[in-house]
Amino acid sequence: MRSTIEKIISASLVLSCEHATHEVPAAYRRLFRGHQDVLESHRGWDPGTAALGKALKCRFRAPLFQTSISRLLIEVNRSLWHPRLFSEFSRNLSESEKQHLIETYYLNHRNRVEEEIRRLIAVRRPVLHLSLHSFTPQLGEEIRNADIGLLYDPRRKLEKRFCESWSAELKQNPYGWRVRRNYPYLGIADGFTTYLRKQFPAMDYLGIELEINQRHMQASNPEFKRMVKLVCDTLSRLLGAAG
């Protein structure tokens, strides 16, 4: 049986952005009239993740799947039973309108990612799925004390080993950026990777949420390029890639 590190090195990479944009289709813009500021805030999307995903896609030639609507319309990173699947802006839509959002945006995104993972596993290669996110530096009264977070299930050996190794690589950054594991959220909380862990065995699927502090995720900020390079370079070393 191959060692844990050999399994990680041989993994196929799949990228996803569940909160790539704050766009709202024309049919639903009435719901957000007068609330553009909320749409453009951390509540409406994860700034910088689409650009990071594009950089990783180019570097590793990996498939990238990203949403096309704001999380305030429907929250693609939550289970269908979650009380915040629909926000205060969309929760009063009719059942038929909600079902349309589920089928057109929610299931469309999640099914495409799951199908690609299933396809890659079928050719007997483990899959490393990076779900890309960014978090607000301050949530309410809480100041988030991290620059990079790696979310995973500590009960799954490959995920734990991978995040221990990646965290060690990331911590060598020359900028003093703090790296924490299972912060600012727990990797076992309700989310897309948590769902996918129930679909695939631990030796076939590694579901990692990469969380980056939004103060580094503005494309106009010089730190953004440094952050993207750090993520790409450390992941390349970890996967044994030449890229």
Write out the DSSP string of the chain: ---HHHHHHTPEEEEEETT------GGGGGGGTT-HHHHTSTTT--TTHHHHHHHHHHHHT--EEE-SS-TTT--TTS-TT-TTSS-TTTTTS-HHHHHHHIIIIIHHHHHHHHHHHHHHHHTT--EEEEEEEEE-SEETTEEP--SEEEE--TTSHHHHHHHHHHHHHHTT-TT---EEES-SS-TTSSSHHHHHHTTS-TTTEEEEEEEEEGGG--TTSHHHHHHHHHHHHHHHHHHT---
Q: Which domains does the chain have, with CATH numbers?
A: 4-239 (3.40.630.40)
pLDDT string in tens for the chain (243-residue length): 455 666 676 789 999 999 999 999 999 999 999 999 999 999 999 999 999 999 999 999 999 999 999 999 999 999 999 999 999 999 999 999 999 999 999 999 999 999 999 999 999 889 999 999 999 998 878 888 999 999 999 999 999 999 999 999 999 999 999 999 999 999 999 999 999 999 999 999 999 999 999 999 988 888 999 999 999 999 999 998 433
* Cis? peptide before 184, omega within 30° of 0: yes
